[in-house]
Structure 1
């Protein structure tokens, strides 16, 4: 059975959402600054093979040079994805803050509108009962 949108919206603790919006934005900004500051790991160029390295026996548990380069490339790709994700999180947090601000503005405006409608209704009732 599907839950209606109004039911879902009524279940959201909007006071908590509005109160925590600045914290979410600040956390996203801190994340973005941290990720933006960290350097992208660059795979190191292959060192010239020395006779010592060539003479050393290959241990089966040690990764080969191509495996290490593949891992370094993967780390670099993951770092780029993390930077892109944190930029997206920061943008979404800013949009969330703007949305919460607009919701709060609409809530205040709706309160004033309800007060005006109530005053007009009271005036109409007064005129109908008087006349």
Structure 2
């Protein structure tokens, strides 16, 4: 239980809390853009009743270019969000690694102290005889 408290103390919570609104905002923006893009683009190139495109070719091309631009922006936003999450994960991993090393050192120290106490106990019992 104490190890978890130590883990929680090592995590730079100030930075995590500071970055959380930005991550949330980016995630919401991506979701909003994704929903808006899907509905707008799904109706853009609908064919007319006679099998001909409802929009002229130039307009279709312009809409496709705009859609590609939106997708590129969305991809960049996703990459930034993933990078932010990766940085936070790396900080947590570093904190856990530090705790693992400290736990190993503490285990060694407890073993040494236990051996010393056992040695003193045996020495005290032998001395009394």
TM-score by length of 1: 0.48
TM-score by length of 2: 0.49
More helix by share: 2
Higher relative contact order (CA 8 A, sep 6+): 1
